[in-house]
Amino acid sequence: MALGIFFASLFALLALGIPIAVVLVLCAITLMLFLGNFDAQIIAQNMVYGANSFPLMAIPFFMLAGEIMAYGSLSQKIVDFATMLVGRIRGGLGYVVVLASILFAGLSGSAVADAAALGSILVPLMAREGYRRDVSTALVASSGIIAPIIPPSIPMIIFGVTSGVSITKLFMSGIIPGLILGLILMVTWTFLARKGNYPRGKKYSRAESLKVVKESVWALLMPIIIVGGIRFGVFTPTEAGAVAVVYALIVSMFIYRDVNLKDLKPIFIAAAKSTSVVMFVASAAMAVAWLLTVAQIPNQMAQIFGGLTENKLVFLFAVNVFLLFLGMIMDLTPAILIFTPVLMPLVAKAGIDPVYFGVIMVFNLCIGLITPPIGTVLYVGCGVGQINFIDLTKKIWPFLIAEIIVLILLILFPDLVMVPLKWFAH
């Protein structure tokens, strides 16, 4: 009964268009009233406890680093480098979108930041070169979800904090799935580029190529420093966020010189606003998670999926169908915070590696960022692409299908996730 009350209140409040953080608090209150032990102080205590986490401190740091990069020219340098490498191929700017998303993923860790930063640069450029604006925007949005998969990844930080799984291992295990996703998107774009007969970009001379590499090297070094530092134990993921901020400031202010002291105020304000939203959601979700445990909802979920845990493959497919549906109606962060504690006991019972499941869960829910009606990145795409939601939704399907195919491959071949972790362990 508690499970039904929770889902009914959750979906009803979401349908009313209430902000997700407020929805979660109201769900907590509803559950408490149902259990007959309402106490506002307990909700407040759990919300404070939810935000009081050292690993979660990585989120404001990476968000601040992303704001600095978006304000300056770091993202433009990455686009220039990607254009130099693949821009001369037919439909080259499409390949630039995917490659730039892969490179930018090592800087931002956020699909929204990736889609907004690169989309604002590349969609107008593609439109001027004769590309369809709706198709270009769909590619930008689809490529944006590479960012939360390749480290540093904000959703993986949230999953690691919620589940107790090593964030470093999650980071390392996300590299190959993110690269495979980028490759599949490029293959999908190849067919669309031929069908649309899109133009080729210019071919760079040796001197021009060297100039682009020289100007972009500082931007390209950042993901190497972050991932390498985490892998070799130089700093923790949280400390890596602080390193990213310092590095982005030094490069933007003293090397590229496109950010000055006056710019820091709007940068910090924007980062604070973004962080406050995420931390409010995290706090509210922690209160709900505690009440879900008290109401024994994990046990009720176990009764639904419990019979499937004897077969790992069947269990994984069933859970992933559930998560795909969940991603259509709920944003990534609250979905991870609420359902990770519910699903992890079942994952342990099925004998599935928690790191592997974490990558699969994050990957799956990232697809939800580009599925209607709630897909956050879709709305970002509408803004940067200046197109309406329906037109973008129609053109997102080839890329969405490609991403679901990658998800199925990761389920069928777990080594695509786990082998990189073994490589980095030696």
Tens digit of each residue's pLDDT (9 = 90 or more) over 307-327: 777 888 999 999 999 899 888
pLDDT at 38 over 60: yes
Which whole number is the average pLDDT over 165-174? 91
pLDDT value of residue 319: 92
pLDDT at 209 over 50: yes
Predicted confidence band of residue 138 (pLDDT cuts 50, 70, 90): very high
- Phi, then psi, of 200 in degrees rounded to 5: -90, 150
Query: Which distant-in-sequence residues (6+ apart) come within 8 Å of 106 by Cβ?
Result: 150, 151, 152, 222, 223, 224, 226, 227
Which whole number is the average pLDDT over 408-412? 95
Which whole number is the average pLDDT over 127-134? 88
pLDDT value of residue 238: 83
Q: Which of 76-85, 293-302, 376-385 has the lowest mean pLDDT?
A: 293-302
Helix/strand number for the chain, H first, E second: 21, 0
pLDDT value of residue 426: 45
SS3 14: helix
Which whole number is the average pLDDT over 177-190? 95
pLDDT value of residue 60: 85
pLDDT value of residue 421: 66
Which whole number is the average pLDDT over 261-287? 84
- Tell which wins on pLDDT, 228 or 94: 94
Angle, helix 175-196 to helix 389-412, in steps of 10 degrees: 130
pLDDT value of residue 306: 65
The model's pLDDT over 16-37, given as tens digits with 9 standing for 90+, comes to 877 777 888 888 888 888 877 7
Which whole number is the average pLDDT over 239-258? 89
pLDDT value of residue 201: 78
CB-CB neighbours of 175 under 10 Å: 21
**Mean pLDDT (the chain, rounded):** 85
- Tell which wins on pLDDT, 69 or 133: 133
The model's pLDDT over 140-158, given as tens digits with 9 standing for 90+, comes to 999 999 989 998 888 999 9
Q: Which amino acid is at 75?
A: S
Q: Which amino acid is at 217?
A: V
Predicted confidence band of residue 265 (pLDDT cuts 50, 70, 90): very high
pLDDT value of residue 298: 66
Query: Where does residue 257 rank: exposed (0-12), middle (13-18), buried (19+ CB within 10 A)?
Result: exposed
Distances (CA, A) of 316 to 60, 65, 247, 342, 406: 32, 35, 40, 15, 14
SS3 38: coil
Which whole number is the average pLDDT over 172-196? 93
pLDDT value of residue 367: 95
Query: Where does residue 328 rank: exposed (0-12), middle (13-18), buried (19+ CB within 10 A)?
Result: middle
Joined tokens for residue 308: 């499937």
pLDDT value of residue 302: 67
Q: Which residues of 230-247 are buried (b: 16+ CB within 10 A; e: fewer)?
A: beeeeebbbbbbbbbbeb
